[in-house]
C-alpha cells in the first residue's frame, strides 16, 4: 500500500508542510541514485520524486533535460530505476517514492508489468507527465488496483471541469504547477497560487503540492505558507551538476537541509 497518504496526514496533524525533492534516476550515474535518495531523507525530505529519464522530455526545462541526457548516455532504463527503489527500500521502509516521467517508457515495458514491478519494489505512486486524465483512465485503474497512487498535474489554466476530472481518478496528492512554462523556469505568481490552492484542495479532496520555480529557502517558505507540500527539482539537479564525486552528497544535503529549515521556521513564525 502507498505510504503517501499516511505520511501527509501525519505531517498535517503536526502542523508541518511536506518537502518533496526531485532527482533524475541515473544522474550522474545509477550508482549515485540510492545514496542521493538517502541523503535527501537525511536532509528532511518527506516524499521523493524520482525522475525516469526519457529521450524527449517535452515539459522539462534545460536543467532536467540535461539530467535525462546524462542518464540516457548510460542507458538507464525504467526497469533499472525500479530496481533502485527496491535497493533504497532495503534500509528505508517509510519514505514514499513517486516515479515521475513520460508515458512511452511505461508503455514500452507494458502497463501491467510496470505496475507489478513498481509495487513489488516499494514504489508508492506514479506521475506521468503526458498522461492527462482523459488519456489515462485505464492506467489509473491499474495503478490504484495495486495499492499505489496516481498523481496528476494541475495548472493555473486548468478549468473547474478538469479539476473535477482529476479529483475523480487522482490520489495521493495533486502537483500544482505554479507557473506557465517548463520545469525550472521563471517567477512564481504567489498571490495567484494562494488563491487557487484552497479551491483545488476543496474540489479534489487531496493535499496540494506546488512546484515549478522553487529556487531557495525563501521561495519554499512562501509556498509552504499556502500549500501542503513544496516540490523542488531543477535547483537540486544544478547542485548535482556543479559538484564533483567527492562533495555531491554533502552539497545536496546542505542545500535541501537549508530549505527544510526555512520552511520549518515559517511554521514556527506562523
With CB under 8 A as the contact rule, the residue among 162, 201, 215, 251 that binds another protein is 162
Which segment (10-18, 70-78, 220-228, 245-253) binds another protein by CB under 8 A? 70-78
Residue 184 DSSP symbol: T
Residue 259 binds another protein (CB under 8 A) = no
User: Are the beta carbons of 125 and 150 closer than 8 angstroms?
Assistant: yes
- Nearest distance, CB of residue 215 and another protein, angstroms: 17
With CB under 8 A as the contact rule, the residue among 1, 108, 145, 218 that binds another protein is 108
- Nearest distance, CB of residue 270 and another protein, angstroms: 30
Nearest residue to 199 (alpha-carbon basis) of 163, 151, 166, 155: 163
Nearest residue to 226 (alpha-carbon basis) of 202, 190, 250, 259: 190
Q: d(Cα 6, Cα 9) in Å, to the nearest integer?
A: 5
Residue 192 binds another protein (CB under 8 A) = no
User: Beta strand pairing status for 174-177 and 208-211?
Assistant: parallel
Nearest residue to 41 (alpha-carbon basis) of 256, 265, 235: 256
Select which of 60, 124, 149, 228 is catalytic. Answer: 60
Chain positions contacting another protein, by CB under 8 A: 54-59, 61-62, 65-66, 69, 72, 75, 77-79, 102-109, 129-132, 134-135, 152-155, 157-159, 162, 177, 180-182, 185
List, by residue number, the catalytic residues: 49, 60
Amino acid at each position: 500500500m502507498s505510504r503517501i497518504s499516511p505520511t501527509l496526514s501525519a505531517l498535517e496533524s503536526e502542523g508541518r508542510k511536506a518537502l518533496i525533492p526531485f532527482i533524475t534516476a541515473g544522474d550522474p550515474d545509477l550508482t549515485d541514485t540510492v545514496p542521493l535518495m538517502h541523503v535527501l531523507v537525511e536532509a528532511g525530505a518527506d516524499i521523493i520524486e524520482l525522475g525516469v529519464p526519457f529521450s524527449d522530455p517535452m515539459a522539462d526545462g534545460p536543467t532536467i533535460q540535461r539530467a535525462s541526457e546524462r542518464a540516457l548516455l548510460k542507458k538507464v532504463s525504467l526497469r533499472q530505476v525500479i530496481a533502485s527503489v527496491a535497493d533504497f527500500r532495503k534500509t528505508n521502509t517509510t519514505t514514499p517514492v513517486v516515479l515521475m516521467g513520460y508515458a512511452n517508457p511505461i508503455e514500452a515495458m507494458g502497463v501491467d508489468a510496470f505496475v507489478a514491478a513498481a509495487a513489488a519494489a516499494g514504489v508508492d505512486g506514479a506521475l506521468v507527465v503526458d498522461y492527462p486524465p482523459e488519456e489515462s483512465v485505464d492506467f489509473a485503474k491499474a495503478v490504484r488496483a495495486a495499492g499505489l497512487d496516481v498523481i496528476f498535474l494541475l495548472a493555473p489554466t486548468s478549468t473547474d471541469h478538469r479539476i473535477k476530472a482529476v479529483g475523480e481518478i487522482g490520489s495521493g496528492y495533486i502537483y500544482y504547477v505554479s507557473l506557465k512554462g517548463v520545469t525550472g523556469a521563471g517567477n512564481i505568481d504567489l498571490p495567484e497560487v494562494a488563491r487557487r490552492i484552497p479551491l483545488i484542495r476543496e474540489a479534489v479532496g487531496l493535499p496540494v503540492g506546488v512546484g515549478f520555480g522553487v529556487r531557495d529557502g525563501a521561495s519554499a517558505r512562501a509556498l509552504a505558507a499556502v500549500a501542503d507540500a513544496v516540490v523542488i527539482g531543477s535547483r537540486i539537479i544544478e547542485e548535482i551538476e556543479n559538484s564533483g564525486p567527492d562533495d555531491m552528497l554533502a552539497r545536496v544535503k546542505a542545500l535541501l537541509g537549508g530549505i527544510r529549515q526555512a520552511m520549518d521556521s515559517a511554521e514556527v513564525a506562523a
